[in-house]
């Protein structure tokens, strides 16, 4: 029974890894190993019940009862029953349950299983075995409960467990290795775009590193002036990563920016950095209804006029556009 449960647990991911020619990492083995221990613990519990009632009755009843008990912990509050049962939510890209998260269900089921095995020892005083077994079982249950009782719906997770590839300097750019084929060109285009925007007076930003925040999962780390964290996986694949970085570089000084000012700055920056196609694609994705088409005509007229001005006047315009905000966005 234990071997069959291990096959159910391990065979599907093993086939998937083999088909993709991917080797598992130590971090990725944390959850399967915890599941294997849980299989053993549940098998011990089933064996104990089968010793007391006929196995022909115990087997189907326990199979259904065990599944229902674990599955329905997701439908109850508070959250700790699902955590101690071993019920996990979907994990994000690069996320792995922390060691304590994987250990809590093992502590609960394992404590009870070890307690039962102590009762089956063929030597020692029976009364002493009962006391020790009770201490171990109750200690495992209480330990799991006390550990998980304050957790939210999402248990402690760790992120960033992804093989990264980094290229270039000023800025150095890092993305997941599977998405790195176009990275050298993206890095060169990004460095050139930042240089153009600095020369045009639009920014003074000189990030040392631009790295993909997608790998952080739900534990997003903040950016700094020299380290920018932003989602690059999708933009690198779709070809508009440089445009997204350009948009971030044109930093407005307020939260609510007039649409005409924002789009004018973005189109100006796109034309300066060779990202006009990405700008047009972005606008099409947002939908060009009659109101949006009217706005785009105003934006095009504004930017055409600005680009015809001397370089110094363009620098004054972009700084004024980024610095000047209205109380309410139009």
Domain boundaries, the chain: 2-158, 164-323
Question: Is pLDDT above 80 for 42?
Answer: yes
Question: Is pLDDT above 60 for 76?
Answer: yes
Task: Please choose, from the candidates 140, 159, 147, 158, the residue with its C-alpha nearest in 3D space to the C-alpha of residue 79.
Answer: 147
How confident is residue 122, by pLDDT bands cut at 50, 70 and 90? confident
- Alpha-carbon distance of 180 to 61, in angstroms, equals 51
How confident is residue 88, by pLDDT bands cut at 50, 70 and 90? confident
Burial of residue 327, with CB atoms counted within 10 A of its CB: 0-12 exposed, 13-18 middle, 19 or more buried: exposed
- Alpha-carbon distance of 285 to 276, in angstroms, equals 14
For residues 140 and 112, the answer to whether their CB atoms sit within 8 Å is: yes
Question: Is pLDDT above 50 for 327?
Answer: no
Compute CA 165 distance to the chain's CA centroid, rounded to the nearest angstrom: 18
How confident is the model at residue 328, as a pLDDT?
43
Q: Tens of pLDDT along 245-258?
A: 999 999 998 888 88
How confident is the model at residue 326, as a pLDDT?
56
How confident is the model at residue 330, as a pLDDT?
32
Task: Please choose, from the candidates 46, 34, 50, the residue with its C-alpha nearest in 3D space to the C-alpha of residue 144.
Answer: 34
pTM of the model: 0.75
- Alpha-carbon distance of 275 to 215, in angstroms, equals 26
How confident is the model at residue 329, as a pLDDT?
37
b/e per residue 24-53 (b: at least 16 CB within 10 A)? eeeeeebbbebbbbbbbbbebbbbbbeeee
Q: Which two tokens stand for residue 35?
A: 């599941």
Q: Greatest CA separation found in the chain?
A: 97
Sorted by sequence, the CB contacts under 8 Å of residue 160 that are 6+ apart come out as 94, 215, 216, 217
Question: Is pLDDT above 50 for 120?
Answer: yes
How confident is the model at residue 93, as a pLDDT?
82
Question: Is pLDDT above 50 for 265?
Answer: yes
- Alpha-carbon distance of 49 to 55, in angstroms, equals 8
Rg for the chain, CA atoms, rounded: 29
For residues 84 and 145, the answer to whether their CB atoms sit within 8 Å is: yes
Question: Is pLDDT above 90 for 318?
Answer: yes
For residues 213 and 229, the answer to whether their CB atoms sit within 8 Å is: yes
Sorted by sequence, the CB contacts under 8 Å of residue 203 that are 6+ apart come out as 194, 197, 249, 250, 251
Q: Which two tokens stand for residue 93?
A: 């890209």
- Alpha-carbon distance of 209 to 8, in angstroms, equals 43
Q: Which of the residue ranges 51-55, 72-76, 79-83, 178-182 has the most confident prediction, judged by mean pLDDT?
A: 79-83
Q: Tens of pLDDT along 144-177?
A: 999 999 999 889 988 888 889 999 999 999 999 8
**Beta-strand (E) ranges in 224-301?**
227-230
- Alpha-carbon distance of 96 to 157, in angstroms, equals 6
Burial of residue 6, with CB atoms counted within 10 A of its CB: 0-12 exposed, 13-18 middle, 19 or more buried: middle
Q: Identify the DSSP state of 275.
A: -
Q: Tens of pLDDT along 172-198?
A: 999 998 889 999 999 999 999 999 999
Average pLDDT over residues 56-62: 85
3-state secondary structure at position 28: helix
For residues 153 and 99, the answer to whether their CB atoms sit within 8 Å is: no
Which of 289 and 323 is assigned the larger pLDDT?
323
């Amino acid at each position: 029974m234990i071997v069959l449960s291990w096959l159910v647990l391990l065979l599907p991911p093993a086939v998937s890894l083999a088909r993709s020619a991917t080797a598992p990492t130590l971090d990725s083995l944390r959850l399967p190993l915890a599941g294997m221990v849980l299989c053993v613990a549940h098998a011990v519990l089933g064996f104990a019940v089968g010793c007391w009632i006929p196995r022909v009755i115990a087997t189907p009843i326990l199979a259904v009862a065990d599944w229902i008990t674990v599955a329905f912990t997701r439908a109850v509050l508070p959250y700790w029953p699902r955590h101690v049962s071993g019920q996990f939510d979907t994990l994000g890209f690069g996320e792995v349950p922390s060691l304590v998260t994987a250990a809590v269900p093992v502590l609960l089921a394992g404590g009870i299983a070890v307690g039962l095995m102590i009762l089956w020892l063929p030597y020692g005083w029976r009364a002493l075995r009962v006391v020790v077994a009770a201490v171990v079982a109750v200690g495992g249950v209480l330990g799991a409960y006390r550990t998980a009782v304050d957790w939210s719906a999402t248990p402690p997770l760790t992120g960033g467990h992804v093989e990264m590839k980094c290229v270039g300097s000023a800025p150095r750019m890092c993305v997941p290795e599977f998405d790195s084929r176009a990275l050298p060109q993206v890095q060169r285009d990004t460095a050139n775009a930042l240089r153009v925007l600095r020369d045009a007076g639009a920014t003074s930003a000189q990030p040392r590193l631009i790295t993909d925040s997608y790998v952080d999962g739900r534990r997003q780390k903040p950016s700094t002036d020299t380290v920018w964290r932003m989602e690059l996986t999708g933009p690198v694949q779709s070809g508009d990563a440089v445009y997204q970085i350009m948009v971030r570089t044109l930093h407005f000084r307020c939260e609510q920016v007039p649409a005409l000012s924002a789009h004018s700055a973005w189109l100006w920056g796109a034309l300066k950095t060779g990202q006009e196609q990405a700008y047009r694609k972005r606008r099409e994705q947002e939908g060009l209804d009659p109101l949006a088409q009217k706005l785009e005509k105003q934006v095009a007229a504004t930017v055409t006029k600005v680009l015809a001005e001397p370089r110094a006047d363009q620098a004054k315009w972009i700084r004024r556009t980024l610095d000047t905000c209205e109380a309410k966005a139009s």
